Structure formats: structure tokens, C-alpha cells
Amino acid sequence: MVAKISIGSSLYGALCYNGEKVNKENGRILGSNKIIIPVDGKADIGQMAENFRMFMPKMGKTKKPVLHISLNPHPDDRLSDQDFEILAREYLDKLGFGEQPYVIYKHEDIDRHHIHIVTVNVNEEGKRLNQDFLYRRSKKITTELEEKYNLHKAQREKISPDTPITKIDPTGDIKRQVANTVKMVGMRYKFQSMGEYNAILGLYNVRCDTADGRVNGREYHGLVYFATDDNGNTIATPLKASRLGKFASRTAIDGRFERAKEKIDVAPTKCKVADVLNQSSGKDDFVAKLKERNVDVVFRYTDEGRIYGVTFVDHDTMTALNGSRLGKDFSANALNARFSHQSQPTEQAPTAKVVPIPTPTNTTSESQSTSSAGTAPAPTQSQSANSNSGDYDFTLPGLDLFQPGQSFNPDEAEFRRRMQRKKKGIRRRF
């Protein structure tokens, strides 16, 4: 059985997380101590918070008085609700929290059922309970319970350099999967910005957002992680970095940004991308050929479909690089211009058959009136020749931009330029 202990400051947050599971029928309340549980089994989060505060001092020096504990038996251990409650109460007694107010929840949103306990580590006098060697004592207690109740020995999943990173499985333990993905990405890859970090996480259906604000008058700068589907839609409750571990915190990720600057070599990735770009016939071909070279490219688009960001994730060098880091030719603007141009039709598109009309007179006014009346201008000699050579008439794309308008006389234009120069000369003399 694995016990995970989180020490925090937000009692309401811990109660809300577990209460929502219960109220969405993804869990149930198994028991409590000194806390009133509604008869209907629903979680009245506000009332529970008030019950807790009755046993906590109004003023205290302990900044993090909340303990949020999860007990995770081995998947092969089939335990009843009564078994879970007995384990939880005995665990708390041995840990020294048996007389504290607490609530025991069972989570059923994944196949591996487990329990969560919310309690506080200060007594009614405001004195903090003994937390010395808390995690070491917890490990000893779980081992004793495994032996006493003949449970399987469950160990924390260890991550090795060979552990593959996989996409989030919506039917599995979301929190554990997100934590493992974040930990392995941080251990293996180099990145220098939040965009590059998210480009890697997004390959495995995880997203990270910054969270800035004020809590109790103090500035707060943190990270929030999301599990997503293949389309980027959130599929589970967001997870604060503090719930995953220190490795997921903003301090840890900012530190990775700084350390990566000295380790990254853009040359290998730039060589691959440049070679593939020269061979590609279009964006899809570009993406496919890079994939063959173990490089993923992540495009970011505006609502209008324009590329405004691009990141290359090189799995050989374990590096994520925004396009601009490779050079101007690989920036989002350059690739958008290139692929937008390549997406234009290369052949002349068939249009409605041009009906010849009598050639208008040479005056400008008559030409303009003909155009405004909605009739097509007379075809040129080359167009007429083409119209007789087949069943379709073709026009060059964009030809309709050249509408009859005011004529241009180069002699008159040169005369106007000379007059302007003379006027400037006169003004200088005076």
C-alpha cells in the first residue's frame, strides 16, 4: 500500500476536490471524526469547512495546517468499503492523528479504487502535532498494515531512463499519468520557454498554463496542468503543480529554462529541418518527412488559420526549439508565407465562358461605363485565339484585378515631375 501525503494551506481546496468527486458520483464518504456527514451521503463542502474550523484556533502560526493523504492499495487487493475505513482509521491512529477531525473519502473514478483523507495538523490550542519524520513513519505504518491484513506489497512506480512516455489514458489515473509525463519530460528534454515546454507536453495530451494572482494579499506565481484529448480539449479537473510535486513547480520549470540555455545546440536540428524543407512539396509533406527523421513539428494557428507559432521537437537531441531559434527562414512568418504560397493553385482554373462583345470606343468614359454595367471587357487577341482552341476558356488567376480605368500617359507624368522640381527650386531660393 502506497501512502502519499500533501501538506498545504487550503482546507477548502482539499474538501472541494474530494467533495466534487462524491457529488458527481465518482466517490463516496466512508467515515469521519468530529465532522458532521449529511444523511444523504452528499458532501456539503461549506458546512464541513465550518466543522473543521470549530476545532481549529482562530489565530495560529502554522501556515500549512492541512494534511491531504491518499492510501493506495495494490490493484490485486479487493477491499470492501469497511476494509478501507478500518485501514484509514488505523493508519491515522498509528501516525498520531487519530483524535483529529478528519473525513475519509473513497474515489471510484478509476478502476484502482483508493481512499483520501483530509485532516489538520494543529489541535484546538493551536499547537502543531508532531511531524518529525512524517514520511518515514508513514512508510513503516503501511508496511505493518500490509503484513497484518495480508495485503500485496505495493511500491511507488519508479521512472527509469528507458520508461516510455505515453499519451494520457482517460480511463486511467489522470493525476498519476500527468505527474509521470511532467517528470519524464523535465528529466529528458531541454526547452527555454513555456511554448517549447507545452509543445513537448502536447505530444502526450498534457498542457501547462501559468497562474498569476494574489492570495491573502501576497503575489502568487504558479502553474496549472491539464489532461487533454487529441484535440486539446480538457478531459479532467485541472491539477495545480503543488499536487504533482516540486518537479512540476514554476520554480523548477524556470530553472530548467535557464540551465537549457547552456546545453542546447541548435545545429543538428537546424540541419535536419533545412534539408527537409528544401525537399518538401507542401506543409503536410514537410511534417511527414520530419517525422521520419524523429522530429515533431507543432504549429500554432490564429482563428483565421494563419501560422503564428512553430516549434520543432527533436527526439534525437531531446530538444524543443521555436522556429525563430533556428533562423529567420524557419520562423512562423516565413513558413506561413511559404506554405500559403504553395497551397495556391498551380494551374489556371476554368472560369465561365467569356462571351465576346463589340469592342468599345477608345474614350475612357465609355470604357468605364461598360465595366460598371456588368459586361465583360473585350478579349485580347491572345484570349480570342485560346477560346477557339478548345472547349474551355481560361483566365489567369487575379486577372480580374486589372479593370479598365484612367489611362496612363508617360509623357504627362514626366512633365508633372519636372514642374514639381522647378517649384522646389523656387522655394529654396526664397
pLDDT in tens, 73-125: 988 888 999 999 999 999 999 999 999 999 999 998 777 789 999 999 988 87
Calculate the average pLDDT of the chain.
80
| Mean pLDDT value across residues 129-158 | 86
Quickly list H helices, 149-249: 174-188, 194-202, 241-244
Measured CA to CA, the distance from residue 34 to residue 114 in angstroms comes to 22
pLDDT of residue 377: 46
- The DSSP call for residue 312 is E
Name the architecture of domain 2-148: 2-Layer Sandwich (3.30)
The pTM score is 0.55
pLDDT of residue 9: 85
pLDDT of residue 267: 95
- Between 57 and 317, residue with greater pLDDT: 317
Measured CA to CA, the distance from residue 307 to residue 300 in angstroms comes to 6
Find cell 502543531 and name the residue: 128
- Between 25 and 206, residue with greater pLDDT: 206
Ranges of each domain in the chain:
2-148, 174-263, 267-342, 351-430
| Mean pLDDT value across residues 238-264 | 91
Picking from 426, 185, 195, the residue whose alpha carbon sits closest to that of residue 315 is 185
| Mean pLDDT value across residues 125-133 | 82
What percentage of the chain carries pLDDT values higher than 70? 75
| Mean pLDDT value across residues 133-145 | 93
CA of 5: how far to CAs of 118, 337, 388, in Å? 10, 52, 85
| Mean pLDDT value across residues 355-367 | 43
